[in-house]
Amino acid sequence: MTTPLPPKTLIAVVGTGAMGAGIAQVAAAAGHPVKLLDNRPGAAEKAVEGIRAQFARLAEKGKMSAEAAQAAGARLIPVEQLADLADAGLVTEAIVENLEAKQKLYVDLEGIVGPDCIFGTNTSSISVTAIGAALQRPERLAGLHFFNPAPLMALVEIVSGLATDCRVAETLFATAAAWGKTPVHAKSTPGFIVNRVARPYYAEALRQLHEGIADVATIDAIMREAGGFRMGPFELMDMIGLDVNFAVTNSVWNAFFNDPRFTPSLIQQEYVAAGWYGRKNGRGFYDYRPAASKPEASSAAAQPVPPSIVLHGTSPLAEALAKRLTDRAVPFTRLPNTTGGFVAAAGNACLYVTDGRSATRRASETGVANTIVVDLASDYATTPRLAMASAASCSSATTELAIGLLQAAGIAVSCVKDAPGLPLMRTLAMLANEASDAVNQGVSDAAGIDTAMRLGVGYPRGPLAWAHEVGLSSIRTVLKNLGEGYGEDRYRISPLIEQQHFACTRHSS
């Protein structure tokens, strides 16, 4: 088993902005002497002062002892030139995201540091293989990708380029773990794990907005309240910065030779062109200016409890509705043996969980004119909100019966435009699809990808674990129907999902 770098190893951090200072703080707290270097005059000294102040605040809050805080601060050493890093055992950088700049830094360092010094680039989007191509010894370089803010975020992606020595990657993995982080291995491919697998979270939301399926506040509310995500996609893009998010999407799209799955959004392009970058300059998908008010999610008006409610089958939604209606003393009957995805009837309204077809297409193909489709939820038993769409053949009175049923179970209803899939289900299907492709292409294993998405972007579950809970056959069906509904390669099914589906089919038969 590979051991971490010992605490006496000198860690050098080049670039002392928020990310570089955060990495330096983590390394110093773990017991390493840390040298900080920046090409801006006085920046390294200022970063050291800031980190020491942060250690002092942690001591005041009781999160570390005063002695430990003072000792960690004393391990920070600002320096002025690359030659001062000659005794480093690990050099990591958090400089500008530019290939030539990173290559030059490490080429220069090769003539300064010892032969056993490891290079750990913190790049979030540039190929580790490409950075290493300029080096005499590219095997000593690997990605050491922290997430911002580095002292708080647990995830570190350990990224191996084509030439990376596996022992270097394992040493960085063990070192990150010794620093209290949760490392995952990844292969140097566009976006690594998180920045690749997360693309559908933004892309599906942007597509729905473009098509007028729902507004910004409603999509965000569905993803938070029904999906359990900490932030909706538009809130998150505003926090990241639309310019930054759009640039990453373009980078991944270009790196994958314009694969339709990563196609950037025209709406996001327009916002960036307008200079509406989000929180950092006061306006993005939301208006953050002092006089602005935040829009509310769309919720259906209150409807009476339907005169008759029949729950069909034993799906998670049917079971949850039964419990919720019982708790609220709402009368209903059950037909537990019903199949075909039928969940409930409220008067003449027929409710189904979305399978990726629009309600109108489903009604046409099944002959059930009064078809209502409802969205996925992270937990139907506790969700405060569900998205719902009605077939074109449904009357407004029928739609109101379906709304009344869900409201009677204590669920706010967001009625969205009828389109293939519904907000949460189509997003999960695409996240799981991208994660499956990453596994299939050897970027990381399933556990590593799920861990990365939980810790790197705060997803309530790893997308692969969540897809298995929903059922891979259901995810495959949703993707198939999305592909048929849009007629685009964007929704092609990952070979891994196909393989697992057919393996399960053969096993069950």
195 catalytic? Reply is: yes
Tell me whether residue 125 is one of the annotated catalytic residues.
no
Residue pair 235/225 in contact by the 8 Å Cβ criterion: no
Which of 122, 188, 195, 436 is labelled catalytic? 195
Burial code (b: 16+ CB inside 10 Å, e: under 16) for 287-308 equals eeeeeeeeeebbebeebebbee
How far, in Å, CA of 415 to CA of 300, rounded?
Answer: 7
Kindly name the residue from 157, 170, 204, 400 that is annotated as catalytic. 157
Residue type, 376: L
How far apart, in whole angstroms, are the C-alpha atoms of residue 216 and residue 354?
A: 21
| Contact assessment for residue 249 and residue 241, using Cβ atoms and an 8 Å cutoff | no
Helix pair angle (446-457, 423-440), 10° resolution: 130
- Backbone φ/ψ region at 313: left (φ over 0), alpha (ψ -120 to 50), beta: left
**Beta-strand relationship, 349-353 and 342-346:** antiparallel
3-state DSSP call for residue 194? helix
Do 162 and 130 meet the contact criterion of CB atoms below 8 Å apart? no
Amino acid identity, position 509: S
Distance CA 472, CA 215 (A): 29
Which of 32, 122, 124, 298 is an active site residue? 124
Q: DSSP assignment of 119-169, as one string?
A: EEE--SSS-HHHHHTTSS-GGGEEEEEE-SSTTT--EEEEEE-TT--HHHH
Q: Is the CB of residue 242 less than 8 Å from the CB of residue 265?
A: no
1 SS3 class: coil
Q: Which of 145, 235, 390, 481 is catalytic?
A: 145
| Whether residue 145 lies in the annotated active site | yes
CB 28 within 8 A of CB 51: yes
What amino acid positions are annotated as catalytic residues?
124, 145, 157, 195
